[in-house]
Structure 1
Amino acid sequence: MNKESDILSRVAAGSAAAVFQTTVSYPFEFLKTGLQLHRSLPGAPVFNMMYPLKVYFAGCSALNVGALFKTFVRFTTFEKACQLMRDPSLPATAALSGPRLLVAGTITGFMESLWIVPFENVKVAMIENALFHSNGSQTIAKPAVDKLSATSSTRPTFHKSVPQLTAREIALQKYAKNPPLHFFPTIKEIYLTRGLRGFVQGTMPTIFRQVGNSAVRFTTYTTLKQLVSPNKALNEYYAFGLGVVSSCAVVALTQPIDVIKTRMQSKHRWTTYKNSLNCAYRIFVEEGFTKFWKGWTPRLFKVGLSGGVSFGIYQYVENLVALMRHEGYLK
């Protein structure tokens, strides 16, 4: 089988699986993000989990676009990383050892994280905007408005005059009152209120999370695959089950990083946290150690379902392409 066409078939299979599983499992992503954005401070109301159906898909478009980029980078990079880490003294068909698999998965996670950060920021902003409209309150936008008012009122003047607001402050006031709900208007909101840096908020925790996700997922999945079916193609049902198991390991080990990532990508992060370390410290002191696992239940459903479906569909399409090549329908 031609190596380049084999990689393309893997990318096509992975892209189809990524869009499908992202859409199907997105309500869990919405609940996970909403729970993580909610600060469990004394006297704070409990996070409302009941919304109209369309609200549960707020930000799905941003995540789907990001998933296409992520999947392309994931499968192409993992293939190249495995070739790079292969021991030249062993046969080309020999399986990679555990440590080499871990390094290949880490490289893959780092590369794909660079592509998804902007789309993660758009997704979080779209979810915050949807929660604002659904809850019918000013509580989400209030910190930014309060801080803006305080900044404007403390400017030194020699006479009474109408405060002159900057373009960014005008945009903040506009979007605080009526935040957009759709993909491109949200991109415009981020650019006008936060500039280009608004698309790269939470880069470091996102990189750490993606590196952890890919390292744990690919290492666990490939290791189990080598144990279950070392010498032949894996059945898609086994692939689904192994994908679920590997996803459970991902949630258990990377949830605290995911919570910090979500908080750092909030549109009002600048009113609350200085940096990722400050965010982690304030969560620990103000909310408690267990809050680092906020949203773990919907994330477990989301990541478990998405991992199982992704690997299951990927293996099914890969087996189908291999069969069609064997039968002579494809070259």
Structure 2
Amino acid sequence: MDIRDVEVIAPNFKRRLSGVTSTIVQLLPLQAKTIGIATIGPDVLPRAVPRLPYSALSGLWRRPRTRPFRIWHARRNIEMLAGLVLRDVLRMPLRLVFTSAAQRRHTGWTRFLIRRMDAVVATSTRSAAYLTVPHRVVMHGIDLSAFSPDGPPPEGDIAERLAGRKVVGCSGRIRHQKGTDLFVDAMITLLPRFPEWTAVVTGRTTSEHRDFEAELLERIAAAGLSDRILFTGEVDDIAAWFRRFDLYVAPPRNEGFGLTPLEAMASGVPVVASDAGAFRDLIVEGGTGRVVPAGDAPALSAAIEPFLADDALRLRAGRDALDHVRRHFPLEREAAELRAVYEALWEDG
């Protein structure tokens, strides 16, 4: 992209996949249809995401063609710090926006950075409660063309083994924080009473969590359920797996925002989730699914059980989930609300 046409820069300074990275990957190609926007950082994102090389930073002293300044939209501390250096040290014509998803009191360093932003966005009412500066809540949306009930099913040996089975799924990195053990414990409790169901866990296990995964696999084997609680590892097409799930469980102990319940509901799948991240803002309790206290394994099992036992309940909740996401959480709504934040800054000059 010609730097003179770039109105907003959304830096991505992390190499590994994260929730923030996933947001940028989904959101920027849509935003680029209406504003000049690009990311900058390590070359790890798909080609569909508009990006600038680091060498383009020298062009930030020049204003864009049609705006009085550019907007630097940070989502991490390091990106806020970079924006401050560019604006306050190098005196580049920038305004700084920060999106906060944290569900806890910010550190003193983060609060220092946030106070120097020109605008602040919170991703949920819960994250907004931890902010002490003026802000606007803009909840994430979901790409309804990528996540929907229509599309190909997953492929591979595990997918073939699930033919004719009902599937309860859990997706995310395998670690204590994500509550993978809570899901496994619930399945060990419930699956012996529901022989038509199989559990599938998708997600990567990093080296520091290999022992945690090994312990879970030992517990599953001891329960005689190794053929009914399956770990796929990281998958190439998670949307296909959401279409294959009949029920989705999101059990993290803590979370920033958490997109997977939206991805499941957009696929027509009801969700049982812990009260972490923004899940209580996403799920209609008793309608599109259930929300239980984070870390409460018995409550998680009790909330899952009716969906395994009652096909009519589960199918009705899945229909309601699909309608709910299509009405309230399209990615276009998020893009429009962020654009309003940018436009307010440009109007104020």
Higher RCO (CA-CA < 8 Å; seq separation 6+): 1
Larger relative helix fraction: 1
Q: Tell me the TM-score normalized by structure 2.
A: 0.25
Task: Give the structure-1-normalised TM-score.
Answer: 0.26
Q: Comparing both structures, which one devotes a greater share of its residues to strand?
A: 2
> Which structure has the bigger radius of gyration?
1
